[in-house]
Amino acid sequence: MDRTEGTTINRRRFLQALGAVGVAVACGPAGPTGASPAPSAGASATTAAAKPVSLEWWRRNYTAGTQNAETLTSDGAVRAFREKNPNVTISIQGGPFGAETDQKFDLAILQQKAGPDVFHTTGGDVIKYAAAGQLSEPPLTAAEKADFNTSALTATTYKGKVVAYPLWIVPWFEYINLDLFKERGVTPPADGNWTYDQFLDAAKKLTFKRADGKQIYGFAHANDEWAFMLIDGGRLYDADVKKWTFNSAEAISGLEKWVNIAKEKVMPPDFLTLNPNDSQAKFIAGEIAILQRPSAMINVLNADAKWKYGTNWEIANFPKGATAQTAWGGLGFIAVREQADADKKTAAHAFAKYLTGPDIGPDLKKMTPPVEYWLAPAARTSAAGIYGEYHAAKAKVAKMGSFTYVLPNVSTWTEIQKYLGPARDAALEGKKTAKQALDEVAPNAQRLLDEANK
């Protein structure tokens, strides 16, 4: 009898231990980040609640144990925050960029009303979650609001309320292969400024075939691009984001300039299906002289020993059209999910504010090895300076914010592209005029915009 009881207890303990190990293993990569040190005795809980709180942060492209930028910066951010707030434990969940992860977010936040306490998000998703009542309003003071870039704050405002913390503004611009410019005797744009005509002229000269048969193209962009349609003043929507205006005379003129680039055959023949990774790979392989990509590619080039800034590559502004200098830009946000647990919500806001605030950059820079937290210029003036200190190219990018057109948040923007993309392709292939193509898109785009504004 005793032996039986003893055996039962041992089995139970064994199973409990096994269960605990199982849970630990299952939570491993997503559990409290291994990078987090034990909180120091002298650490002070200055912002978050003193009661122990555990938060879940969902960050796209976070992959525990890898060296990608999202992982390094996220681990660093958690480590730095916990030093100041030792009572807060943060686990990070990742997921690749793309529809599958987007759906994971939607299912958790919209359907199950659970999942992340804090999450990194972009564009229309902010409005979508806010409309569903799933975002907790950031407790920002008037001074803090004034510290944010106005268009970034507008993009995260839903029915008069700011619903998330603007994180950064990601501008698109031109990367220049200086070796190819030198080889063809083309002078790079002075201070990165050039007109459309100067740009096209350079692209034409930089499109050539070497004696060994290797074809070089003057210019390339990925198939997720719209920026050329801005250069003569074209904008997607009117100021109130109520009317679709991407078939205005200015937008048509911009598309015509783009069509002209295609006509000149300065782009690779597969430019209509060239995805962002492939276009980047072509530039790195030395097949493209000018590549249009966002700021994240700076880190890719810096990580490659054969690409030395100022010697092999440089950046330049987007070519200037009929109006003032412009650029295309996207926004990143940190949002806090609405929930009943007040302690968690307070800690989540403290963390979100830290992730978007002025302290995180210097805190991570002091780490060993230093971590460059800002992958794009911060959307908050007080936090923006440090991005330019990371690298000379980034210092130039930091100045682009003043003329970058920040894409307004419209929850149906992805769907609008279902019509806009083929129209752009038809124009670039010469199957339709720019006006025909954009006029055909307008009714469907307006319908989707109206739906987003409901």
Partner 1 sequence: MRAALRRYGWSYLFVLPTFSLFVVFTLLPVVQAFGLSLQNARIVGGEWIGLQNFVTLAEDPVFRQALGNTVLYSLVVVAAQLTLALVVASLIQPLGRKSQTFYRALFYLPLVNSAILVAMVWRWIFNANPYGLANTVLGAVGFDPLLWIGSSDQALAAVILSAVLTIPGGGVVLYSAAMGSLPRELYEAAEVEGAGALTKWWYITIPLLKPTTLYLLVIYTILAFQVFERVYVMTNGGGPNNATITIVQLVYSTAFQFGRYGLASAMAVVLFIMAVAVAVVQFRSLRSDVEY
Choose among 414, 382, 408, 351: nearest CA to 136. 351
By C-beta, is 197 or 270 nearer to partner 1?
270
Selected from 45, 272, 296, 300, the binder of partner 1 by CB under 8 A is 272
| DSSP 3-state of 210 | coil
CB 351 within 8 A of CB 57: yes
Number of residues that bind partner 1 (CB under 8 A): 30
Which residues in 143-197 belong to E strands, given as ranges? 157-158, 161-162, 165-177
Structure tokens at 5: 């009881």
By C-beta, is 45 or 132 nearer to partner 1?
132
Residue 264 interacting with partner 1 (CB under 8 A): no
Residue 271 interacting with partner 1 (CB under 8 A): yes
Residue 269 interacting with partner 1 (CB under 8 A): yes
CB 208 within 8 A of CB 196: no
By C-beta, is 366 or 418 nearer to partner 1?
418
CA distances from residue 317 to 152, 196, 297, 394 in whole angstroms, order as listed? 21, 11, 15, 12
Residue 208 interacting with partner 1 (CB under 8 A): no
Selected from 161, 381, 418, 450, the binder of partner 1 by CB under 8 A is 418
Min separation Cβ 108 and partner 1, Å: 10
CB 156 within 8 A of CB 164: yes
Q: For the packed helices 413-428 and 123-131, what is the interaxial angle rounded to 10 degrees? A: 150
Residue 61 interacting with partner 1 (CB under 8 A): no
Interacting residues with partner 1 between 106 and 145 (CB under 8 A): 106-107, 110-111, 128, 132
Beta bridge partners of 166: 333
Place of tokens 């048509």: 252
Residue 415 interacting with partner 1 (CB under 8 A): yes
By C-beta, is 362 or 422 nearer to partner 1?
422
By C-beta, is 11 or 431 nearer to partner 1?
431
- Residues in contact with 57: Cβ distance below 8 Å, sequence separation at least 6, in sequence order: 74, 78, 90, 91, 92, 93, 116, 117, 118, 119, 120, 351
Binding track over 383-412 against partner 1, x by CB under 8 A:
-----------------------------x
Choose among 336, 342, 343, 334: nearest CA to 87. 343
Residue 431 interacting with partner 1 (CB under 8 A): yes
Selected from 122, 223, 382, 446, the binder of partner 1 by CB under 8 A is 223
Residue 354 interacting with partner 1 (CB under 8 A): no
By C-beta, is 106 or 338 nearer to partner 1?
106
Which residues contribute to the site for partner 1 (CB under 8 A)? Answer: 99-100, 102-103, 106-107, 110-111, 128, 132, 215, 223, 268-273, 275, 412, 414-415, 418-419, 421-422, 425-426, 429, 431
